[in-house]
Chain A
Amino acid sequence: GAVVSQHPSRVICKSGTSVKIECRSLDFQATTMFWYRQFPKQSLMLMATSNEGSKATYEQGVEKDKFLINHASLTLSTLTVTSAHPEDSSFYICSARGGTVGSPLHFGNGTRLTVT
């Protein structure tokens, strides 16, 4: 079964609104979670690394004020796309891993965001 749950799986919103996406690790504690974005027919792109109890680390070119990340507990990280615009329409995916060497990444099922 899934070990990382992402919600919602699909969202359609109007331009200017904010959308929150949740990523939960179900049976392990994830001190680190990652957020990605993937446009159609393109590679996965890492947006940010989310660390429990501290600020997220954003990749170059990703606006931290637009993509707000909160990792308030060891099992939950949220990504909020603020003031969404049509160009933010994409497939957003999270992943989480355990803290021990050898722990693989487990990906959430992704959120397909469409901004109209």
Chain B
Amino acid sequence: RKEVEQDPGPFNVPEGATVAFNCTYSNSASQSFFWYRQDCRKEPKLLMSVYSSGNEDGRFTAQLNRASQYISLLIRDSKLSDSATYLCVVICYNNNDMRFGAGTRLTVKP
């Protein structure tokens, strides 16, 4: 079993749709969680951190469920510019462990 698993995608959605991605992790000692966005032929860029209480940034909402060991990303009112690959990153600082998902490809169509 992979240490971090993501919805494989691809997700093809129309503009304005709401789309959600999940990411499960196996290391229960994981301490910090992040969502990154990677555009084609570019490096990943931090989209948002994920907090236990859940957090929202505009159209994006991230949630963490420690009991079930997963994080989620919800995108509302999808824009064409949201088309990208979304990566989850899970870090345990105590043992310097960093794992990431394989990424979920999202394509938003007109």
B25 at interface, CB cutoff 8 A: no
The interface size of chain A toward B, counting residues with CB under 8 Å, comes to: 24
Bound: A43/B38 CA distance, A = 10
A106→B46 contact, CB < 8 A: yes
| Chain A positions within 8 Å of B55 at CB level | none
A114 at interface, CB cutoff 8 A: no
Bound: A97/B100 CA distance, A = 14
A104→B96 contact, CB < 8 A: no
Given contacts A103-B32, A104-B32, A105-B34, contact A32 B44 (CB under 8 A): no
For the residues of B in contact with A, the DSSP-based class is: strand
Taking each of A44, A106, A108, A109, which has the highest tally of chain B beta carbons within 10 Å of its own beta carbon?
A44
A91 at interface, CB cutoff 8 A: yes
Scan residues 82-100 of chain A and give those whose CB is less than 8 A from a CB of chain B.
91, 93, 95, 97, 99-100
Selected contact of A101 from candidates B41, B45, B93, CB within 8 Å: B93
Scan residues 56-110 of chain B and give those whose CB is less than 8 A from a CB of chain A.
87, 89, 91, 93, 96, 98, 100, 102-103
Selected contact of A91 from candidates B41, B96, B100, CB within 8 Å: B41
Residues on B lying within 8 angstroms of A by beta carbon are: 31-32, 34, 36, 38, 41-46, 49, 87, 89, 91, 93, 96, 98, 100, 102-103
Q: Which 8 A-B pairs have the closest CB atoms?
A: A43-B102, A107-B43, A110-B43, A101-B93, A107-B44, A104-B34, A104-B46, A93-B43
